[in-house]
Structure 1
């Protein structure tokens, strides 16, 4: 990152002083180059044509003050780059800094909630007087031990492996931020191994089971359409639920006269923009196009009643699995891999940020391959 002191002439005739933070560039989904910049306006102004001694004096004072702020900001940048600790910054309380990092995530509801849940355990472990200067390896190991042996849920049960993994990761993210922003001279969190993720069962439907479900009436037709749409596209419940007609693109025919349909939407979980091609059959589940601002699955809402109807629908179809709406997404991933899609394509379609998340589905396919090896009955052989 680079910092520059800039000047901008205003309509009033005065010149505004501000800092420009150049953060490199990125590429937009359309392939265009985008410059990444942040600005810090200093509320300092210059007379463009100073005439009186007072105006000239004011210009000199404001320029000197702007230069001083510029020097401080550059020093803060180098502190983070070369592991130079600012002792004054390190005097901030650890709990205060964690609260600040948590609030930066308030727009991302799921992530914010995890930070908030982790904070309750961090506050139980960490004394109020602990500052970032006092953070060391033993402090980090102590919190890990606390999660593993002392922390409990509201119902007084030990934390699950995945919950310990999640809470320690928020603790870790806070310390990483403290190091990157120059509050810590050493990134101690790298010296302590976190919790591994526990593998959970990902319930999904086979192709035959999905066909049975599609052929079985459901008491809530809207739920049926939404679930089958998710199974054919892999879109999460949160994105199916909020989907508007403005996000559905009917793009005509390709060179082989095959209809082209796409969903362009912002994932609620990750905030990433997705450009997802969908099949003609998936498009049929959306029905007739309505006003752009209308929800596609208008009237669909998450409730205990809806979950119960989903289970009853499965039971009527002869499916004795604990199927949730998210199982439709698992089903999509498994069926794509079973039918020849490569793991990278599946990962992109599901909107995963990391390939290892998708690799879990590949393990399911491997298991089925092993099971298939013993499906053929044993032969009665007479070998001479």
Structure 2
């Protein structure tokens, strides 16, 4: 492609400056040849026969500006032809760009906190002067090795597999964004395999254990109601804690004469709106309806003291597992699957975005089936 500066005479007596992009010729089906051209009109004009100093000066300024635009267009054509990179964006600091992407996540606290935590390790590994132009595959591999062998927690422990997976994914998201937005010519992160996600232990209560716990007094009755409600519904602590009476719906009676209850709420973690049917027993745990803007579990707070009381309550019930409030959510998932709910329904009730997240609970059920195979007593037989 060639670019030329052209002039076109107007009826006003002025000349219009424009660029002609000549792309060659094309032979038509009838054998004729067509010249391929595009035009860019610059909105710059020359007085055809300037007489005053001002007119001559204005002509010179417009012509010089047109020549500068021509030079820019020629450079752009040259870059495209030889696949050259425009380095202007690439001179941005990697750390500055990461912070910019992190701040775009400020509305989602959990995700923002993960970006913030990962930033501390990126800063420890990456010199402040490193720009996006400086990045290469070895730099990315070096950061992965840093997370795997050097990085430690505040208590000087090596990072867990899932933490390494999370932090590297934030770094990966940053570089993906840099490529998508034109800061990187090549998506380098695709050439480096990330960390695999480790499977953490999901502590849960069996049906018998949940029954025992429900019959055991708790030092904080409000905590007992909230934990049991989470066990019967699968709702996270954050959503139980902020649940308002305006989100609790009573939708009549079904054809079996059973009252229909549903809660409509926005998940704090995913920001997705959920429409969740709950049992009559779960509704009883909410207590008497109050003002629409009042919290259902008013006074519930997340604290070390609350966690300690939860563990003591479990000990009083004879349960020696390390139970946290999130264990109620795990309990709900396992009990639903054990009692015949299909995995898709469980996934929807838990508000999972991907079915593979729910499949972890199916593995727990499968393991229990394997254990059940060896529960029967051994026979002292004589097969002869």
* TM-score normalised over the length of structure 1: 0.77
Structure 2 equivalent of residue 33 of structure 1: none
Residue 141 (structure 1) shift? 0.4
- 3-state SS of the aligned residue for 2:262? strand
Aligned residues: 306
Q: Cα distance 1:231–1:136, how it changes in 2: closer, same or farther (>3 A)?
A: same
Structure 1 equivalent of residue 73 of structure 2: none
Measure the CA separation in 2 of the matches of 1:218 and 1:367: 31
**Structure 1 moving runs of 4+ over 4 Å:** 83-86
Measure the CA separation in 1 of the matches of 2:291 and 2:97: 46
Measure the CA separation in 2 of the matches of 1:85 and 1:295: 56
Structure 2 equivalent of residue 312 of structure 1: 312
Measure the CA separation in 1 of the matches of 2:85 and 2:197: 33
Structure 2 equivalent of residue 188 of structure 1: 188
Conservation of the 8 A alpha-carbon contact between 1:84 and 1:185: no
Residue 352 (structure 1) shift? 1.1
Structure 1 equivalent of residue 103 of structure 2: 103
1:352 aligns with 2:362: no
Structure 2 equivalent of residue 257 of structure 1: 257
- 3-state SS of the aligned residue for 1:375? coil
Structure 2 equivalent of residue 157 of structure 1: 157
Structure 2 equivalent of residue 221 of structure 1: 221
Residue 128 (structure 1) shift? 1.5
1:271 aligns with 2:271: yes
Q: Deviations over 1:104-139 (max 9, x none)?
A: 011111111111111111011111121112222111
Structure 2 equivalent of residue 17 of structure 1: none
Residue 156 (structure 1) shift? 2.2
The unaligned stretches of length 5 or more in structure 1 are 1-67, 69-74
Measure the CA separation in 1 of the matches of 2:357 and 2:161: 17
Q: Deviations over 1:72-105 (max 9, x none)?
A: xxx9xxx9xxx99643222211111100000001
1:294 aligns with 2:298: no
Measure the CA separation in 2 of the matches of 1:365 and 1:191: 37
Measure the CA separation in 1 of the matches of 2:307 and 2:196: 31
Measure the CA separation in 1 of the matches of 2:315 and 2:279: 27
Measure the CA separation in 1 of the matches of 2:126 and 2:180: 22
Residue 186 (structure 1) shift? 1.6
- 3-state SS of the aligned residue for 2:286? coil
* TM-score normalised over the length of structure 2: 0.77
Residue 350 (structure 1) shift? 0.7
Measure the CA separation in 1 of the matches of 2:86 and 2:343: 45
Measure the CA separation in 1 of the matches of 2:118 and 2:164: 9
Structure 1 equivalent of residue 363 of structure 2: 363
1:340 aligns with 2:329: no
The unaligned stretches of length 5 or more in structure 2 are 1-68, 70-75
Conservation of the 8 A alpha-carbon contact between 1:86 and 1:182: no
- 3-state SS of the aligned residue for 1:88? helix
Structure 2 equivalent of residue 90 of structure 1: 90
Residue 255 (structure 1) shift? 2.9
Measure the CA separation in 1 of the matches of 2:361 and 2:285: 25
Residue 288 (structure 1) shift? 0.8
Structure 2 equivalent of residue 145 of structure 1: 145
**Higher radius of gyration, 1 or 2:** 2
RMSD: 1.9
Conservation of the 8 A alpha-carbon contact between 1:248 and 1:262: yes
Residue 378 (structure 1) shift? 1.3
Measure the CA separation in 1 of the matches of 2:153 and 2:382: 63
Measure the CA separation in 2 of the matches of 1:85 and 1:340: 58
Measure the CA separation in 1 of the matches of 2:155 and 2:283: 44
